[in-house]
Structure 1
């Protein structure tokens, strides 16, 4: 990928994170979280999509699990595979507690990302990852709900194309409440620490 395209991705992510959360989610010195606390500033997890098994699912199907929501696509050359690889390492560090987590990988490229394509892709990273797709209008509505953004780049001569997208990782607790926002550049141990709090009974703030 060209440096200019990487720069656009980075700038897009930074702009969304800064404009959406900086003023509302300032971390106090007493907070137990190491990531950005978005409790009360983001709607509950809610969607109706198709999973990588071809089944219609809703957010209710993942109640009881801590959900890591990430928007990406399978043809992504860099940030998506890197993020999913990092999340796999995070879950490994959690040990048995990782059974209480699901990675929800929502495609922003539903034309190419069929359930079968998504299944092969996410399964290559972690068995607790679920690929989700839907109609273009469903995907657009979901990204707007969580103030994410994506845009299809002009097609190349061979018919391929890239999709620029924000790269926030939205963390929802096991009741579907939005709790934290992470980025792919956050140290893995910060996510491990905060997930440990969310997954340990009686410890989550």
Structure 2
């Protein structure tokens, strides 16, 4: 059975602690500001948080990644534990903060030791603009390593994917109002956890660790 536990890890150096604290403070303040200024009806559409029971499956649609390779979603997810975020490369508001958050999660991946490898996946929700080259630039911008990829589905598949990820039946609205949640999948490609808006990087790491050892 999957159990989520939250742990606090001491920092290993003063300079590293200061750097991570600054990043956490930036993300936390930005999330508070975004929540305070957003219309409540918009945030309602972003769906549920916490454990997903029963686990959900996304339609096995094709995506094109940052290298131009086309493959099924299941090929991205199976045999790996995956944290997914939705972004669009033309976004200049919350998406850069989401990139910084995934960068912070990426720094914590070496702390995870489990049965399955762990990866990050940024899903572009604007297929008309989220081309392979745009996705590649997105990853480069945040110094993504080999465990962090990006891909975008076909235009006709975007809305259904967003609805399944969020778990909400309310209207999605336009992509500028997309969720800033992170969605964690187990190695069987099942959605197991939906985060709050702008979660803590440590909490995402702990969920991924629990799934990797599940």
Q: Same fold (TM over 0.5)?
A: yes
Shift of 1:5: 10
Distance 2:201 2:153 in 1: 30
Give the alignment partner of residue 131 of structure 2, picking from 114, 132, 137: 114
The range that moved more, 38-47 or 50-59, is 38-47
Q: 1:195 corresponds to which residue?
A: 208
Consecutive unaligned residues in structure 1, runs of 5 or more: 23-35, 153-162
Cα distance, 1:172–1:133 mapped onto 2, change above 3 Å: same
Distance 1:86 1:194 in 2: 15
Q: 2:141 corresponds to which residue?
A: 124
Q: Is the 8 A contact 2:57 2:190 kept in 1?
A: yes
Q: 2:66 corresponds to which residue?
A: 52
| Deviating 4+ runs (over 4 angstroms) | 3-6
Shift of 1:10: 7.3
Shift of 1:38: 0.9
Distance 1:138 1:183 in 2: 24
The CA deviation string for residues 104-125 of structure 1, in whole angstroms up to 9 with x for no partner, is 2121222122111111112332
1:76 paired to 2:91: yes
Number of aligned residue pairs: give it. Answer: 173
The CA deviation string for residues 94-138 of structure 1, in whole angstroms up to 9 with x for no partner, is 316389222221212221221111111123322222221233212
1:7 paired to 2:15: no
Q: Is the 8 A contact 1:45 1:176 kept in 2?
A: no
Distance 2:186 2:202 in 1: 18
Q: 2:5 corresponds to which residue?
A: none
1:37 paired to 2:51: yes
Q: Is the 8 A contact 1:123 1:129 kept in 2?
A: no
Distance 2:67 2:39 in 1: 30
The CA deviation string for residues 78-107 of structure 1, in whole angstroms up to 9 with x for no partner, is 321212211221231231638922222121
The CA deviation string for residues 10-61 of structure 1, in whole angstroms up to 9 with x for no partner, is 762x3135xx437xxxxxxxxxxxxx11131532573311111111111222
Distance 1:119 1:110 in 2: 14
SS of the equivalent of 1:64 reads: coil
